[in-house]
Amino acid sequence: MDIPVHHFYHAKAVNGPDAESDEIFHYTNTVMDVVDNLFYDDKVARSPAMYFDIERSRALLDPITKSRYNLEHAALIMNVIASFAEKGVHPKDQGIVMPYMAQVLVYRYAAHQMNLNDPLGGWDQLLIGTADSMEEKSARSCMWIL
Which alpha helices (DSSP H) does 10-146 contain, by range? 28-38, 71-86, 101-117
CA 73/CA 58 separation, integer angstroms? 9
Domain hosting 33: range is 26-48+60-144
Residue 54 placed within a domain: no
CATH for 90: 3.40.50.300
Residue 101 placed within a domain: yes
Residue 18 placed within a domain: no
**Averages of pLDDT over each 10 residues, the chain, 146 residues:** 59 62 68 76 59 77 86 91 92 90 93 97 95 78 74
Give pTM, 2 decimals. Answer: 0.74
Residue 17 placed within a domain: no
Q: CB 69: neighbour CB atoms within 10 A?
A: 21
CA 14/CA 23 separation, integer angstroms? 19
